[in-house]
Structure 1
Amino acid sequence: MAFQTEYEFELPRGYVDEHGNLHRRGVMRLATAADEILPMKDPRVQSNPSYLTVILMARVVTKLGDLRHIDTRLVEKLFTADLAYLQNLYRQINDLEAPKAAAACPKCDHEFEVAVDFLSLTEALS
């Protein structure tokens, strides 16, 4: 199984460029630590913490339609429904899902998966 680092998406409304072209399909990559840390030094974020979202999206959206260069000016022009969609996608692909382990009921042999909480397991073993 290959590790996926890029995710295709389609905006609900789409970005309309200066020529009137509509761009809806794009690609978002996984965020790095730098993507979340470096924007905190930006004066726009320091004066308005909500601007962090704009900078994050400009960093992790790598393609939108025919556009290859995504910057904060472009993200600022997105419709709010599209920005909300991208924020949700960002959370979905960057949140770490707990690993799962196969388990079976000792009484009925029903097989199922359970989430493994390594933090709790480590504390219990200490």
Structure 2
Amino acid sequence: MAFQTEFTFTLPKGFIDRDGNVHREGTMRLANAADEILPLKDPRVQQNPGYLTIILLARVITKLGSLPAVDTRVVENLFTMDLAYLQDLYQRINSMDMPVYRSVCPHCGKEIEVPVNFMEAGI
């Protein structure tokens, strides 16, 4: 099975370009380290930390409708519902699934999956 790095989406409302065309279908790629680190140096983020989301999404959205490119201007002009949708999608595709340890319950003998949280290990 191939590793999925791009995810398609449909915006709830859609981006309306200057000609009145609505763009709803798009593609978002997985973020890389540079996507999360480089925007922190941007003066717009230093002045307003909330702008980080705008830059991040502009970097990882690879396609939106028939637009030639997605930049910060496009993301800035999304409806708030669409921005929230994209933030949620970003979190879901870039979050790490918690690993599980397969074991057998000592009481009932059934196979169980026990979540392993490395952040709490050794506490």
Normalised by the length of structure 1, the TM-score is: 0.88
Q: Gaps spanning 5+ residues in structure 2: where?
A: none
- Asked if 2 retains the 8 angstrom alpha-carbon contact of 1:15 and 1:24, the reply is yes
Deviation sequence 1:71-118 (CA, Å, 0-9, x none):
001111100100011111111111112112322213322223221234
Write the distance in 1 (CA, Å) between the matches of 2:41 and 2:15.
Answer: 28
Matches within 5 A, 1:32-71: 32-71=32-71
What fraction of aligned residue pairs are identical, expressed as a percent? 61
How many residue pairs match? The answer is 123
Q: Gaps spanning 5+ residues in structure 1: where?
A: none
Write the distance in 1 (CA, Å) between the matches of 2:38 and 2:57.
Answer: 13
Matches within 5 A, 1:1-126: 1-118=1-118, 120=120, 123=122
Write the distance in 2 (CA, Å) between the matches of 1:44 and 1:34.
Answer: 17
Normalised by the length of structure 2, the TM-score is: 0.90
Secondary structure of the structure 2 residue equivalent to 1:4 = coil
When the two chains are superposed, the root-mean-square deviation of aligned CA atoms in Å is 1.7
Secondary structure of the structure 1 residue equivalent to 2:44 = helix
Greater share of residues in helix: 1
